[in-house]
Amino acid sequence: MDVTTITAAYQSLKSVKDLLAAVFEAKVDAEAKPKILEAQAQLGEVQDTLFALREQLFQLQEERNQLKSELAASEAWLSKLNQYELSQASGGGIVYRYKGEPIHFACPSCINKQQIHILQDNRTISGKYRCTGCNSEFPIEPRRKVEPLPTQHHWPSEG
């Protein structure tokens, strides 16, 4: 059943009511008149019920459409999220790791907000990567070894 069906039923009832009104106006005996009035009143109640049902149905359909689009959005997000898995990077950070190629990591804080932001290498010796969304840093790679600076040679001055 949809809104159109209810509207059609509502229209039919209205026609019957109009017919009854016409009958009432015609020459009918006094005994029939109260029965016609009663029938009209009952039809009126049914009309009111149908009207309320139509409103309810309309509202339910609106809600259903809303839920459908929310479900679609949620499914889309889940399939995106499914491409990642929570893992510990070699630097110790717990982040989301992309299951495919190219290998990259996503920020767990942003994923909690249903956003995927790829962590970018800070290019520092700490091995930390930065989130492009919330600027958090995560230890992704082990600390890089610091290459000792070449020792300076002091030549004896010729002075």
User: Which residue intervals of the chain are DSSP H helices?
Assistant: 3-25, 32-81, 108-112
| Smallest distance, Zn ion to C-beta of residue 93, A | 12
Which of 23, 47, 53, 133 is in the footprint of Zn ion by CB under 5 A? 133
Q: How far is CA 113 from CA 15, 85, 104, in A?
A: 56, 16, 19
* Candidate residues 95, 106, 110, 111; the one interacting with Zn ion per rule CB under 5 A: 110
Out of 107, 128, 139, 140, name the contact with Zn ion by CB under 5 A.
Answer: 107
Q: What are phi and psi of 25, to 5 degrees?
A: -70, -30
Q: Does 94 bind Zn ion (CB under 5 A)?
A: no
How many chain residues are in contact with Zn ion, going by CB under 5 A?
7
Partners of 119 in beta bridges:
131
By CB under 5 A, residue 122 contacts Zn ion: no
Question: What is the crossing angle of helices 3-25 and 32-81, to 10°?
Answer: 170
Contact pick of 106, 111, 131, 140 for Zn ion (by CB under 5 A): 131
Q: Does 109 bind Zn ion (CB under 5 A)?
A: yes
Q: Tell me how many helices (H) and strands (E) the chain has.
A: 3, 6
Chain positions contacting Zn ion, by CB under 5 A: 107, 109-110, 117, 131, 133-134
